[in-house]
Structure 1
Amino acid sequence: MKGGAWRVVLLGLAVAAAALVFLAVEITQIAADDRTALVRGLAIGGVGLLALWYVFSKLARHFRDLTRLSDRLSGTRGRVDLEPWSSGRGGEIARLADVAGALLRGDGASVAGLPAGGRWERAVQAALALADDPLLVLDEQGRVERLNTGASRLLGLEQGADIGKSLLREDLARAIERARGGGAPVSAVLRRTEEGELSARVADLGLNAGVVLSFPARGSAHAAALSGRRTLSLRPSQAPGPLGDDEPLAALPFVALWVATAGPEPDVGPVIAVGTVRLVGTRIFPTVSLSLLIDPVDPVPAEAVERHGIGTAMVAGERPFGQVWPAIQDALHHCIAVGVGVDAALTVLAQSVAHAGIADPVLPPSLDLGALAAALDPALAGAPFDQLAAAFGLTHKPRLGPQAQAQAQAELAAALFARLNDRGIVTQGQARALIADRAVV
C-alpha cells in the first residue's frame, strides 16, 4: 500500500524538515548577538521538527495499518483474517476492517448504511421457506440460527439452541469435514443424543458462514414457516487450499489436537481419548470439533488417570479405536495439527492405528506449539502447557473432557500466531524457520 501517496508524503515532510533546518540556521546567523531571540528561534524550530516527527509517525502507522489490511484481505473468501487489531487501536482503518469483516461474514444488516439484504438473499430465504423437508441453519458455534417448524418438531430445538443437545457432535463434525473436503453437500447418518438416528444432508457454507442441515420428511406434513432473522451469505464451495510454506498463517487450516493414553507416560500406551478443534489462523471454530472416549479393554493405570483424569469407568463400554479412527482421520483431514507435544500425539495415534490393523493411515503435518513458544521466548523451553498459557495471557479455565483440552490448545495456538504476526512472521515457512533457528542455537 506504500505507493505514490507514501512517496509524496515523505517528500513533503522532507521538504518541510529542510525548510525548518534552513530557518534555524538563518536565525542563528541573524540573532547571534541576541541570546533571547536566538533561544526563541531555536525553540520554535525544535517544536516544528517535533511536530513533523509526530505527523510522520502517525502517517507511517496509518500506511502500515493499510498494508496489514491489504494482507488480510489478500486471501480467498472464507480464508480471510479480519480479527480486530491486536494493538487495540481504533481509527478509520479499524472501522474499515470491521466493515469488510461484516461483509465477508454476511452480516450486511449490522453495518451502518448497508442494505440488509439483496434480491439473491431474498430468493434464498423464499426457497428455504418453501422447503418440504425439516431444515435448519447452524452458526459457527453450533447454535441454531434458523429452522422451520418441521425441524423444530423433529429435533425438539428452538432458535438459539445448541445442536449438541439433539445430535452427537462427533457425527456432525465428520459430515461437515466430508462436505468441506468434497466441496458439495453430503449424505450422513447422525445419531441422536438419546436414542435413534436420522438421515440428513449436510451443506457446509464455509468456516465463517455455518452449516445447513436437511432431513428427509418421513411422510408427515411439516409447516415451513421459518423462525429467526439470519441473512444467509452463501459462498461457492472451494477446493482445499495448499498447505505450503509460502501460505500465510492467517489463511491456513489448523486442527488443535489433544490425545490421552492409558500408558505410564503421555507417549506410551493405547489411545483412550481424542479431542480436536478447528481453527484458521487466530480464528477458532468450536463447532468443528471432535470429542471421543475410547475403550482400551484393559484397565487404565492409576498414573495415567492422575495425568489426564480419564479412568476405566469413564471409557468402559465406549467403542474400540478401530471403529472411531475414521472420525479422527476426517477431523485431521487437510489440516496442520498443532498442540503442545503434538508430534508425540500423532505418534501414539499411529501406534494405535497399527495395533488396530489399519493399513496406510494418513496423518497430517504438524507444528508444535511448545517449540514455537520457546522460539519466541527461550525461557519457555520445556515449559508445561499451563505455564505456556499463562505466559501468553490466557486465563486459566477448568478443562474437563477432550474437547475442552483441545479448545485450550487452540486458544494457545491463536495467541502464538498473533504474537508471530506482531513480530512480522506471517507465513508458515517463516514460523518453521524461527523454530529451526532456535534449535540450531
Structure 2
Amino acid sequence: MKRGMAPDVGVPTADARATLRLARGVTATWWYTVSVIVFFEVMIVVVWLATLLEAGVAPVGLWTVAIGGSIWLASTLPLLSDYRHRTDAGVSARSPRVLIPVLIAAAYGAASVVITESVLIGLLPVAQSLMLLNWPRHVRGRALLVVTASLGCAWIFDARGSFSDAATLGDASGWVLLAFYSTFLPAMTVLSLWWWDVLVTLDLARASEARLGATQERLRVATDVHDLQGHHLQVIALQLELTERLLSRDPDAALDTLRAARKSVDAARQGTRDLATRFRSVPLRDEIENARDLLIAAGIGTDAIVAPDADRAPASVFGPVIRETTTNVLRHGGGQRASLSLAPDGDSWRYEISNDLTPGAVVNGDGSGLQGMERRVSEAGGRIEVLSDRERFSIVVTIPVQQEGRR
C-alpha cells in the first residue's frame, strides 16, 4: 500500500513543528466551535438591534447597525478559517486576510459610535475580531485581559451617559444584558477556541503515539537483525581470514577453519529463521487487534472483522502483510475510516484492508512494500489485488487453504 515514496516519520524539527497543520480527526468539533462563535456574534447584533429599537433610534440607524453587523459577521469567517489552519508562527499583521477584517470591524465600530453614541457597541467588533487572530499563546491571555478591561471601562462610560443620547440608551430594559453580553463575548470566544486547541493537541498526541509505535517496531527489528547478523558476520570474517593465512602453511587446518566458517553461515541463517519465527509467533487475531488499536490511536476510526478460526490461516504470510499494510495506512493512507477483515472464502483465506482517502490524495500502488508483499503472497500460492478510486483504497490478499501448513 505504498502511496509514493516518503521519508520515515520521525520526531519533527523545530521548523516542522512551526508549520505543523491541524489534525483531521476533529473536524466535527471544529464546525461545532465555529457555529457557537458565529451564534454568539449573531445574538449580540440581535440584542443591539432590540435595545436600540426600544431606545427609539431612527430606522436609518437600525438598518445601518443591521447591515453593517452582517458585513462584520461575514468578515470574521476568514479569521476563523485562518485560525483552523494556523501555524505556531503566530499572527502576521501584514496579511490582507487579517488586516481587511480588522479594518471592516473598525469601520463598523466607528459607524456604531456615531449612530448609537455608545462606546461599548463601537468597541466590541474590533475587540472580537482581534480575539480571533492567531496570537502566540503567551500573548492571547494578556490581550484578552486588556480587551475585557477596555470593554468594562466602555460599559461604565456609557452608563454615566457621557454622550447626550447614551443615557437614553442606558434607560432601555435590555441595556444591562447588552452591556454584559458585549463585555464578555471575547472571553467566551477565547474559551471556545481554547477548547478546540486542547482537542487538537490530544489528536496530534494520538497520531504521534501511533507513529512512534511504528517507528519503535522498526527499530526493534533492525536492532535484532543487526545484533544477530553482525555477530555472525564478524565471526565468519575472522574465520575466513584465518583460512587465508593457513592455506599455504597448513591446508588441513585451513580446511577445518573453512568448515567452521560454513557452520557459522548455517548458524546465521538459522538465527535469521528463528528471528522471523519469533515475529510470526503472534496469533493472527492479535495481529488484527494490534493493527486496529494502532489505527485508532492515530485518529482513524477502524472496524475489524475476524473469523473465529482465523488462527488457522497461514501466519507466515498474513502476519507480515498485516503489519506492512497497517504501517502504510498510517504513513500514506489519510482519510478518517478504515476496515480490516480476515475470514475464510471458499477454499482460501481472504484478508482485506481498506481506508478512505483525503481529497486530492495521490495513490501509488507501485511501492517496494507492495512488491515485497506480492512476492511473499505469490510464493504461498496466493494472489494480491489493489483496488482504488478517488474515495477509497483497498488491498485484498487471498491464500489457498492448503497452504496453511506453511507456518
The reply to whether TM is greater than 0.5 is no
Higher strand content, 1 or 2: 1
TM (norm. structure 1) is: 0.25
Q: Which has the higher contact order (CA 8 A, sep 6+)?
A: 2
Query: Of the two, which has the highest radius of gyration?
Result: 2
